[in-house]
Structure 1
């Protein structure tokens, strides 16, 4: 395919759906680490038993099974809620059907959570609100046995082949022990560019408020190690696929050009998942042949295949602020939050989506964080640490955080659902300048045990 044809595909897949958006719905995805309190590997038999019990109790329908015929995904055909797992059976994921009122999501989540905890607790297992599974070293490094997750893990394990000039970490299984709290919000065409720009600028602020992924015992200066785990993996082979926009797009044309410079690394042809060296998407479709790999008969095989138009369906970047084919912006940078504060991030994003002009003005005039000699990428990297940069005046930072939260609160009040109450924990974090990760680090450094926070962060 020629470059212009790829560009048209990009437009139809990512831009065109935003022209159909009128109402603003929210989609919530929650990933939650499963922990075996015996400090041994999570019991997958228990996990599978839980899935069956959940299905029967909530009358969910089977959506998918793995290659061992084990149920790995359930769906409620009324609400659209999906019970599944991310990367491995160590990481439970609950995705909620689109909603206008976040309290509807909150109510269903709490009902699901109580049921799941009751089943797990009887076998000395638990869920908790941590972005890194604190017992990750005890767990089996096994992807869900299906084509997609096996391919993904294999692809991430290939970092040793591409190490020249790239500082990869040695944890390709990170998807099996990291848990996120992701928000999808409908965005219309006219607001698209400004929304991407404003929420990208907010990433340093979100690091201050939401960081909650500590690699206990390995890199304690990082409050949000998820950034590093994504960026210094094969996902970051092309840096444009992950993290921040290096330059904020100013219009649709610049956004398309940016997307055309990102890479594709997998596809599915003839029923086989194929992975290959990440290749800039326009270059991929120029090639007559691609060298890749696929799994069959218990081992990987080399394959030479021809790019097809349908391969474009497997193209996806992983930016912090991502445009999806559903006409939504996906906010991907927030760690799993303490369970009784789960809805904070979703309320934050929903509260600000209709205030982007006001947020933009605040950030353009700010001097507490912004209008300094640092790029947005540099600022995010500074603020995901467990301590603040030296240039920050705490009093001014608190004012900025409160100003942003007040704007979100005002917008949520206008919706009339009392969703502004969901922001209350963020006001506490802003006033103390302490996010869940910093609290955890302080707790451990003072001699506290991780088990105490596993239980505390897991309470409703």
Structure 2
């Protein structure tokens, strides 16, 4: 046990970092869209081409400036300081990310995203490379599994590769520590006021199975081809999942902010920074970390890792990095992380869905409380999501009833967007088509491949701006 004074310091630091920022009443939305890069020659993505395209993007968009430069002198991130848009590479140069600065409406974000995406895709296609809206890179087997040579991404990959060092943990690990280099998500950040925080997490957690039905788009080609959202397993069975509280769903319902704070205290920590350099160490709970006078870790220096002892400091909570489906951030936002990258023509469905439901928590809770299609059948929300990311619906669930339940949730999101009076409900239209056809992008990939459709055609179709 740690002493009461230190425990109070941990609780206060957790509150300051995660809870206090939500005291401000704001109403912005931010979006991060990760997109795989494809070499249509069925060879590894040419990083030399990636760097050429980056330079062209920087020259074309006058307001962007260099933000991140790797150890080789190559640019991996550029930022527009006027609107906070960032175009960067995520984990490796096989993945590009469009992190759109916060705005009050989706149309503004969508217009800028389409402008950036169109230019970048056109530049890549000059070299027979392209971009596509798929949650797992369909040509991943051809690519180089090399992290961006930067402080953060070297640290992250080093942590994920360390799974073989964990001998006495009650889980198994998959063999894909480089999954961050070939998996892509569509993430949404919403401002949530402190008084709504607990209810937002509780209620949105219960519709994760519905989101699996609507948005799954991560088919792991050549393996596990019956799973429409394999991204879930890639996170769960990695070193991030050693403490299940760090990933996936919340399997408890919070009564108040104290409950939420206690959950955050239960997380594991696996890295800190000293003098601008990351230090990795075996993942451990915050309590275990702060009990120790020194923790033995590894630091990257001159191309190799060296052992180093680090003294725990209360500010190390800055480096607490959970990857929940619903994350709290230091910006006072709630980040929704469970959705795969969507076909590009449907990109805004993700943000529209979450934004529309943001102020419909009571109505959404009532739908779930009264449901007997998937709930009240002996399964938790987590178990239901695992079942509903399969290409076949379990036999105890009536498919037509499931579609009606899903439509009820999307209708509620539509109502929420209509009340905003901007017209953003138009972005939900593709979801109604998916409900009507009993499908989602992942199922469509599986069915198309089964019917002999060429993978390259799917890649090109999912990369189009308009269907």
* TM-score of the alignment, normalized to the shorter chain, above 0.5: yes
2:152 to 148, 154, 162: 148
Q: Residues of 2 paired with 1:374 and 1:137: CA distance?
A: 36
Q: Check the 8 A contact 1:31/1:181 in 2, yes or no.
A: yes
Instruction: Report the secondary structure of 1:83's partner residue.
Output: strand
Q: Residues of 1 paired with 2:397 and 2:436: CA distance?
A: 15
Q: Residues of 1 paired with 2:453 and 2:273: CA distance?
A: 48
Pairing of 1:36-51 with structure 2 (within 5 A) = 36-51=39-54
Q: Residues of 2 paired with 1:222 and 1:3: CA distance?
A: 43
Instruction: Report the secondary structure of 1:334's partner residue.
Output: coil
Matching residue of 2:412: 407
2:120 to 80, 96, 116: 116
How large is the RMSD of aligned CA atoms in angstroms? 1.0
Shift of 1:163: 4.3
Matching residue of 1:138: 142
Matching residue of 1:185: 190
Matching residue of 2:354: 349
1:70 to 70, 74, 88: 74
Shift of 1:430: 1.2
Matching residue of 1:367: 372
Q: Residues of 2 paired with 1:271 and 1:58: CA distance?
A: 30
Instruction: Report the secondary structure of 2:68's partner residue.
Output: strand
Report whether the alignment pairs 1:398 with 2:403: yes
Q: Residues of 2 paired with 1:257 and 1:432: CA distance?
A: 43
Unaligned runs of 5+ in 2: none
Aligned length: 459
Instruction: Report the secondary structure of 1:2's partner residue.
Output: helix
Instruction: Report the secondary structure of 1:373's partner residue.
Output: coil
Shift of 1:235: 0.4
Matching residue of 2:281: 276
Shift of 1:324: 1.1
Moved more, 247-256 or 231-240: 247-256
Pairing of 1:60-459 with structure 2 (within 5 A) = 60-164=64-168, 165-459=170-464
Shift of 1:222: 1.1
Q: Residues of 1 paired with 2:453 and 2:215: CA distance?
A: 22
Normalising by structure 1, we get a TM-score of 0.98
Matching residue of 2:21: 17
1:4 to 2, 8, 16: 8
Q: Residues of 2 paired with 1:249 and 1:319: CA distance?
A: 15
Q: Residues of 1 paired with 2:450 and 2:187: CA distance?
A: 29
Moved more, 400-409 or 180-189: 400-409
Instruction: Report the secondary structure of 2:269's partner residue.
Output: strand
CA shift digits 1:135-164 (9 cap, x unpaired): 111111110001110011011001011144
Q: Check the 8 A contact 1:82/1:94 in 2, yes or no.
A: yes
Q: Check the 8 A contact 1:6/1:282 in 2, yes or no.
A: no
Q: Residues of 1 paired with 2:109 and 2:125: CA distance?
A: 24
CA shift digits 1:242-279 (9 cap, x unpaired): 01112121211111111111100011112321111111
Instruction: Report the secondary structure of 2:107's partner residue.
Output: helix
Q: Check the 8 A contact 1:172/1:233 in 2, yes or no.
A: yes
Shift of 1:291: 1.2
Unaligned runs of 5+ in 1: none
Q: Residues of 1 paired with 2:386 and 2:253: CA distance?
A: 17
Q: Residues of 2 paired with 1:446 and 1:160: CA distance?
A: 39
Normalising by structure 2, we get a TM-score of 0.97
Shift of 1:445: 1.4
Shift of 1:78: 1.4
Matching residue of 2:30: 27
Q: Check the 8 A contact 1:369/1:392 in 2, yes or no.
A: yes
Shift of 1:23: 2.8
CA shift digits 1:70-108 (9 cap, x unpaired): 111111121110011110010000101101110111111
Q: Residues of 2 paired with 1:310 and 1:23: CA distance?
A: 27
Shift of 1:121: 0.5
Q: Check the 8 A contact 2:203/2:361 in 1, yes or no.
A: yes
Instruction: Report the secondary structure of 1:92's partner residue.
Output: strand
CA shift digits 1:428-455 (9 cap, x unpaired): 1112220000010011112222111001
1:57 to 55, 60, 70: 60
Shift of 1:311: 1.4
Q: Check the 8 A contact 1:352/1:408 in 2, yes or no.
A: yes
Q: Residues of 2 paired with 1:4 and 1:404: CA distance?
A: 41
